[in-house]
Amino acid sequence: MPAEAGATDDHMIVARPTAVAIASDLLVWQLADSAFPTGAFSHSAGLEAAWRLGLLPDPSALEAWITGSIDHVGGSALPFALAAHRRPEKMPSLDQWCEAMTTAPAANRASRHQGRALIIAAAAADPASGLVDLRHDPGPCHLAPVWGICLRRLGIPRDTCGRLLLFAHARGLVSAAVRLNRIGPLAAQGMQTRLAPAIESAWHRHRHRSWRSAAQTSPLVELALATHDRLSARLFAS
C-alpha cells in the first residue's frame, strides 16, 4: 500500500483529523479553559468553609477533601448532566429535581448562577447552537442539566461531557485552594495531576447512574456548603 500524505518516515499511516473533529477538540479545550466565563471563579464549592472549620489542616487533607468532592459531584450532579445530554426535552423536569435536591442555600445559588452563566457563554461561543433560546428559560437553570444540554447542542459527545464536568469541578477547587493560600500555584499543578485518577474513578463509578438514583455521597461537603453563609468573612460566594 503506498504511503499516504501525512505518513511517518517508517510508512505507518497517520489518519488526518477532519476539520469537524479539529473544531470539536478545540471547543472542548475552550470549555475546559479556566478563562471560560461560567462564574466558577467566584465559588469554592464548600472548600472555603471546610478550611474555616479546620477540616483542611495540611495539603494531604486538602487533596483528600477535593477527592471526596469530585466523587460527590459524580454521584449528585453527573447523572443530571448525562440525562440532559441524552434527553434534552427532559431539561425542565431535571432542573426541578436539581432544585429539590440542592438544599444548601449557598450551593443552590451557586448552581443557578453558574448554569445561567454557562448558557450565556456557550451561546456566545457558538451562536448557531440555538442556546440563546435557553436564556429565557423560566426555570432555575441549575448547572448540571444546563451543562448536559449545552454540550449536546455544541456537539460534544456524552463521555467527554461527563468527564469534562468532573475535571472542571476539580480544577475549580484547586484554583480556590490557591487563592485561599492553602497551596502554592506550582504545588497545585502537581495536585491537579494526581487528581486525574479520582476524576476517572468518579466517572466510571457514576457514569451509568440514573438521575433518579442521584445521591450526595459526602455529608461533610454538604455540611460545609450549608455552613458557608454563616462565615463571618468570605472570599467566595459558595
Q: Domain coordinates of the chain in residue numbers?
A: 63-230
pLDDT of res. 196: 97
Cell of 235: 472570599
Query: Taking 70 as the threshold, does the pLDDT of residue 158 lie above it?
Result: yes
pLDDT single digits (tens) 215-232: 988 888 989 999 999 988
What does pLDDT average to over the chain? 89
Q: Is 60 exceeded by the pLDDT of residue 52?
A: yes
SS3 state at 100: helix
pTM greater than 0.85: yes
Residue 23: what pLDDT? 63
Following DSSP, what letter does each residue of 165-234 receive, concatenated? HHHHHHHHHHHHHHHTTSS-HHHHHHHHHHTHHHHHHHHHHHTT--GGG-----HHHHHHHHHGGG-SS-
Mean pLDDT calculated for residue range 23-36 = 85
Which whole number is the average pLDDT over 169-187?
A: 96
